[in-house]
Amino acid sequence: MKLNIVTPKTGAEWVRGGVRTFFKQPLALGGLFFLFMGVISVITMVPMVGGALALAALPAATLGLMQASAMAAAGTFPMPKVLFTAFIHGAAKRQAMLHLGALYTVAFLLVVGLTVLIDGGQFAKVYLFGEPVTMEMIESDGFYTAMWVGTLMYIPLGAMFWHAPALVFWNDVSPAKSLFFSMAACWKNKGAMVVYMGCWFVLFALASLVIVTIASALAGPQMIGALVAPLGMVLASMFFASIYATYRDSFVIEHIVDTTV
């Protein structure tokens, strides 16, 4: 694999690219993100193993959104089946993506599991099982320590899996090697990645401020719920559309995206 080294300001261009790509096919990309969330939500409902299965499906689902973004950028309307791209292009690619999903599940559960040693499992219960945050948790030093430790440990994990689905599917890199190349690309372009994440943080923060301002001016707190879902979906769709741009500019691309999926 050949890496491209980009300047920090490229991170801002990745964000702009995601926004531009979204507006090329807003209905398609917004709908696909909604389908993505629906599929993951349904998987989590499987008794006992739903959470683990949802984690295992994330790399494949992310690859589907990247494929859709690449198609939208090329001017093609992505159909719903593109979300399942990883599973409809032969047994070898399907097996490799499932392998990558298994690696992600084990690594993620290990990170969350380590926080149990800090707070006895309070953070893990909230993060994995959606248990409500209680005053007892808020007043507990261990809960916040576990949260920050888990967040810091997830950063290298996220870097390892950031480009991995694309490398496995488009570049035929083995799942294990894809983690190395993904981490290397994120590290070599860390300036651009910091700017990229910083820009998205600012955009999401500004969106929250706008929602609160509009709700306060029009109908009060009850309006917030009506605004959060659609605006959140739009921003999340833009974010996922920008992931393809980070991959495209971080590697020497030797594939041509199949826009007929």
Domain containing 53 equals 10-250
Rounded-to-integer distance, Cα 62 and Cα 243, Å: 9
Identify which of 141, 137, 138 has the alpha carbon closest to the alpha carbon of residue 118. Answer: 141
Residue 101 forms part of a structural domain: yes
pTM: 0.87
Q: Does residue 51 surpass a pLDDT of 90?
A: no
Residue 37 lies in a domain: yes
Which band of pLDDT confidence, cut at 50, 70 and 90, is reported for residue 257? Answer: low
> For residue 260, is it within any domain?
no
In a domain, 257, yes or no: no
Rounded to the nearest angstrom, the gap between the alpha carbon of residue 45 and the centroid of all alpha carbons in its chain is 20
Tell me if 72 sits within 8 A of 78, measured CB to CB. yes
The per-residue pLDDT for 252 is 81
> Which range among 3-7, 118-122, 229-233 has the greatest average pLDDT?
3-7
The total number of structural domains in the chain stands at: 1
Is the confidence at residue 191, as pLDDT, over 70? yes
Asked whether residue 255 is assigned to any structural domain, the reply reads no
> Domain for residue 22, yes or no?
yes
Most confident of 42-46, 210-214, 215-219: 42-46
In angstroms, the CA 161 to CA 179 distance is: 6
Question: What is the mean predicted confidence (pLDDT) over 174-190?
Answer: 96
Q: What share of the chain is helix, strand, coil (3-state, %, to 5)?
A: 80, 0, 20
pLDDT tens-digit profile of 56-105? Answer: 999 999 999 999 999 999 989 999 999 999 998 889 999 999 999 999 99
Residue 251 β-bridge partners: 3
Q: Give 126 or 34, the one with higher predicted confidence.
A: 34
Does residue 29 lie in a domain region? yes
Rg (CA), the chain: 19
Res 223: pLDDT: 63
pLDDT at 90: 87
User: 4 lies in a domain?
Assistant: no
Provide the pLDDT for residue 26: 94
